[in-house]
Structure 1
Amino acid sequence: MRVFVKNKRGEALMPCSVRKARLLLKQQKAIIVGYQPFAIQLTIATGETVQELHVGVDTGVKHLGIAVISEDKIFAHGEIEFRQDVSSLLETRKTYRRSRRNRNTRYRRCKYKFNTKRVFDKKKKKWIKPSISLTSKRPEGWLPPSLENRIQHTFRWVDTFTKLLPHPKLHLEVGKFDVQKMMNPLIQGKEYQEGETFSYHEVRYYVFARDHYTCQVCKKKNKILNTHHIIYRSHKGSDRADNLITVCTDCHTHENHQEGAILWTWMMAKKKVKQYKEPPFMHVLRKRIFSRYPEARITYGSETTPHRKTLALEKSHQNDAIAIIGISKINEHPCSHFRIVQFRKKKRSLHEATARKGRKEPNCLQKRNAKNTKESLGFLLNDQVCIHGQRGFITGFTGPYVQTIEGKYITLPGKSYKQVPLRELRRMAHHNNWQYTIQIETRPIHAPPIKDGELRAIC
């Protein structure tokens, strides 16, 4: 992987090799200006000849693939993983806030603004009170926080890499999906306007008719029926018909929802329900990309797949980013790639519904407990540390706990518990909300067996 370079004025130059960057820093001809990714700035005047550079970006819901290429040489490539817990955390926060009136918590301003002034309605010919108005109205183009978070971070990393390169050409792959055709491949014409619940008063009546008014658990008819979610809404389940089943009142009880009961066992067997939450996000992202990067070259998966197979690359986000650019061959492939994972560093909950294990009373005051500690003995949350030859990131101070970027706990040799002592940790780097590592490959993934006379990959 190459090192990004800037001149004395802070303008981007061509990336250099790791060895050349090390010599420039040792001779004090350059200074470090960035670590994620690693970048240096020259302190001396030098030539500023640049080549044509291309940046390939493979957009997605959870991952983002990025590759920097010049002609047939790959300078840097890797993938970025976004958070997927924003929606569930907001749902948890909403649950805590709605139940705060039953607990001893601090005062929080009401979300609504009540206007008690009456107005005269000429049509009804009487004085009435106006409806409740929200204090914070949603602006045009508003998106849920979980979607807005991914879109803004996608733009952030694309801008980060393009600003480190001299006038690069941007290549973006976007997705365009026909959700109704994914659900019904034979759909055509006016059937797009007539969904599966067409001519039914509600979705529940369609579910009853689809299941022939029969309980799907006990297989009995002529009973009082209810609709039941296969995947609960609290677990990101939808209200579509394919996520609903018909259950009678005898089976739809609290006892049958418990582990080992007949309904619970039946639900575990029917958990494989197709979710179509990703296509709408990709549609929104595609529109945002068109307005944000009007000069970028837009490609689709139907163009990327043939190019990737021509280059003999395996399926991955970083390899898709290479194929998006459309190069015909690869003569220089680095033996390392970067991996970036988004990390939730702060916990903003002010109170909890129930006490944690070991606590005698609920945390009902506006104060942080031991689990929300951000610093201890000079170590900060999400710092990259080394212990017994293994590298990981500090994810909590109650232990403390150290995890790899893949989420595996690093434990002491011969021990089964996850806690490690702080005195045995050695800090390697400080990270904010992103975990950044360089992963070494034994040899390029795409390369077939090298024959005599062929150009070998340069690491």
Structure 2
Amino acid sequence: MSKVFIVDTNRKPLNPVHPGYARLLLKQGKAAVYRRYPFTLILKREVEQPHVQPLRIKLDPGSKTTGIAIVNDASREVVFAAELTHRGQVIKASLDDRRSVRRSRRQRKTRYRKARWQNRRIKKGWLPPSLRSRIENILTWVRRLALLCSVTALSMELVRFDMQLMENPNISGVEYQQGTLMGYEVREYLLEKWERRCAYCGATDVPLQIEHIHPRTKGGTNRISNLTLACERCNQEKGAQDITDFLKKKPDVLARILKQARQPLKDAAAVNTTRWALLDRLKATGLPVETGSGGLTKFNRSQRKIPKTHWSDAACVGKSTPEVLKMKGMIPLLIKATGHGRRQMCVTDAYGFPKQHKQRQGSFQGYRTGDMVKAITPKGTFQGRIAIRYRPSFRLGKGDIHPKYMRRLHRVDGYEYAQERSA
């Protein structure tokens, strides 16, 4: 199970402790709650020359979710695990809305102004905000965890393995595209694109076969856009039929497959774009950074018979992975990036016209929207996140509660937290 982080009165990190020992410290009054997420205690005394064990933060970066694990290499124990959900798509949608609002306003007010978008230059290493946010989220949690425990090394998954390129570093062009591992690379691409399930029946955890959407006997090609994955039963039932004939009684499945076949592997492109920038930022922390391939991660996980999750993949990253990982009963912390609000002062309607102006003040009576509080009122006890009103009545759950009944448990920090029910 997850250990509890603990720091002394000077906020120096100590060895994480068992939850039972943490409860004993709280009961005896020797410690207090320092942070709710991740749960951390602070001792009421100073520890001179503490003997702390070195820990390693291991990362499995993803487009939508990044796995995080803290491993004690000496004891082979997973001390902490988390899954960080990014908000890149939300940022992209917000930027699209902002662009449409600005264009609408400029069309109404300065329709004859010359375009200036060609005057701007993109700096070297620039990344769009939707991708940069993924890097910043990971770095934020690396820094936070380094303040709560003695982190001495980092590990991250950098690239997928490519044995063909290793055997011949000078391979390129048609020779590279049609080499001995061409079928393997195509299969890995399809597994990612079709989410490791049969495109026709949705079956998972079964052997999948590469299937031509439009059969070759009727003019279909081997292009990646004409390939999908199917289980053995669906592959045999389809045979040499055209997909329109095979799925004529399932028009919704047909439309989904044809649409998904044309889509590129956007998530993989996002990871490929940010992985080297993330590596440079991690090296800038001054900690030694170990990199590993996706093939090594999969090998480590399969050899240890560990179920595939984001955080378990992170625990298996790199050659430093112990032969036996102690992770029984581990419950990961689910972290979701929500941002710190927005600077838009004028709310618009669906047509881009202003309809409401926001308050410039971000807090009221010491509280901010998103703070987690506990309210003990004459009608009962309530706990959750609040939405402030600029009057002494804040929104909590389905009702309004006066702030005099509230006690803050956790300040809003741009993330939401939940605990997975099962390991």
Superposition TM-score tier, normalisation by shorter sequence: 0.5 to 0.7
Structure 1 residues not aligned, in runs of 5+: 114-131, 182-187, 195-240, 244-263, 403-409, 411-419, 446-459
Deviation at 1:77, TM superposition (A): 0.8
SS state at 1:348 partner: coil
Tell me the amino acid that sits aligned with residue 354 of structure 2: N
Match of 1:320 among 313, 316, 328: 313
The Cα of 1:331 is off from its aligned counterpart by 4.1
Which residue of 253, 265, 273 corresponds with 1:284? 273
Q: Could you say if the C-alpha distance between residues 192 and 101 of structure 1 is closer, same or farther in structure 2, counting changes exceeding 3 Å?
A: farther
Q: For 2:47, what is the secondary structure of its paired residue?
A: coil
Superposed, which structure 2 residues align to 1:60-99 within 5 Å? Answer: 60-70=62-72, 71-83=75-87, 84-99=89-104
Q: If the length of structure 1 is used for normalisation, what is the TM-score?
A: 0.57
Does residue 1:146 correspond to 2:146, yes or no?
A: no
1:278 aligned partner, one-letter code: D
Match status 1:368 vs 2:358 = yes
CA distance 1:347–1:78, change in 2 (3 Å): same
Q: Contact between 1:76 and 1:334, CA under 8 Å: does it hold in 2?
A: no
Matches within 5 A, 1:252-291: 270-272=258-260, 273-291=262-280
Aligned-partner SS, 2:332: strand
Q: 1:421 to 1:298 in 2, by over 3 A?
A: same
| Letter paired with 2:371 | D
Q: 1: distance between equivalents of 2:366 and 2:282?
A: 42
- 1:323: Cα distance to partner? 1.9
Aligned in 2, Cα 1:394/1:52: closer, same or farther, shift over 3 Å? same
Distance 1:384 1:10, change over 3 A: closer
> 1:177–1:279: 8 Å Cα contact kept in structure 2?
no
Conserved in 2, the CA contact under 8 Å of 1:82 and 1:341? yes
Aligned-pair Cα RMSD in Å: 4.4
Contact 1:342 1:435 in 2 (8 A): yes
Give secondary structure in 2 for the equivalent of 1:12: coil
Specify whether residues 395 and 172 from structure 1 end up closer, same or farther in structure 2 by C-alpha distance, changes over 3 A only. farther
Is contact 2:36-2:409 (8 Å) kept?
A: no
2:413 is paired with a residue of what secondary structure?
A: coil
Judged with a 3 Å threshold, the aligned counterparts in structure 2 of structure 1 residues 396 and 344 are, in CA distance, closer, same or farther, namely farther
3-state secondary structure, aligned to 1:54: strand
How do 1:16-415 and structure 2 match up within 5 A?
A: 16-42=17-43, 43-45=45-47, 48-70=50-72, 71-83=75-87, 84-103=89-108, 112=116, 133-134=119-120, 137-176=121-160, 189-191=172-174, 270-272=258-260, 273-294=262-283, 295-324=288-317, 325-331=320-326, 333-351=328-346, 354=349, 362-363=353-354, 367-368=357-358, 380-384=368-372, 393=385
TM-score by length of 2: 0.62
Q: Cα–Cα, structure 1 residues 96 and 437, in superposed 2: closer, same or farther, change >3 Å?
A: same
For 2:93, the aligned partner's letter is: S
Q: CA deviation at 1:27?
A: 4.5
Q: 1:75 to 1:110 in 2, by over 3 A?
A: farther
Report deviation, 1:33.
3.9
Contact 2:301 2:313 in 1 (8 A): yes
CA distance in 1, matches of 2:161, 2:8: 44
Map of 1:15 onto structure 2: 16
Q: CA deviation at 1:394?
A: 5.1
Contact 1:74 1:330 in 2 (8 A): yes
Cα distance in 2 between the residues matched to 1:192 and 1:92: 45
Give the secondary-structure state (helix, strand or coil) at the position aligned to 1:16.
coil
Residues 239-265 of structure 1: CA distance to partner in whole angstroms, max 9, x if unpaired?
xx979xxxxxxxxxxxxxxxxxxxx99
Rg larger for: 1
Structure 2 SS opposite 1:159? helix
Q: For the residues of structure 2 that align with 1:86 and 1:110, how far apart are their CA atoms?
A: 28
1:68 shift after superposition: 1.4
CA offsets per residue over residues 9-53 of structure 1, 9 Å max, x none? Answer: 433221112333344345454454433323334323356122242
State the Cα distance separating 1:302 from its structure 2 match. 0.6
**CA 332–189 in structure 1, closer or farther in 2 if over 3 Å, else same:** closer
Q: CA 1:157–1:111 in 2, change beyond 3 Å: closer, same or farther?
A: farther
* Counterpart for residue 421 of structure 1: 399
The question of whether the paired residues in 2 share the 8 Å contact of 1:104 and 1:364 is answered with no
Percent sequence identity over matched residues? 24
Post-superposition shift, 1:111? 8.9
CA–CA separation in structure 2 for the residues paired with 1:73 and 1:112: 56
CA distance in 2, matches of 1:98, 1:362: 12
Q: Which residue of 2 is the match for residue 407 of structure 1? A: none
Distance 1:368 1:389, change over 3 A: same
Paired residues of 1:65 and 1:78 also in contact (CA < 8 A): yes
User: Hey, which of these two has a bigger chunk of helix by percent?
Assistant: 2
> Which digits, 9 at most, give the CA deviation of each residue in 1:81-131, with x for residues without a partner?
1102111210110110011035579xxx99959xxxxxxxxxxxxxxxxxx
Question: How many equivalent pairs are there?
Answer: 322
Distance in 1 (alpha carbons) for counterparts of 2:300 and 2:370: 38
Query: In structure 2, how many angstroms separate the alpha carbons of the residues matched to 1:386 and 1:285?
Result: 39
Rounded to whole Å, the distance in 1 between the matches of 2:253 and 2:11 is: 63
Structure 2 distance, partners of 1:41, 1:377, is 27
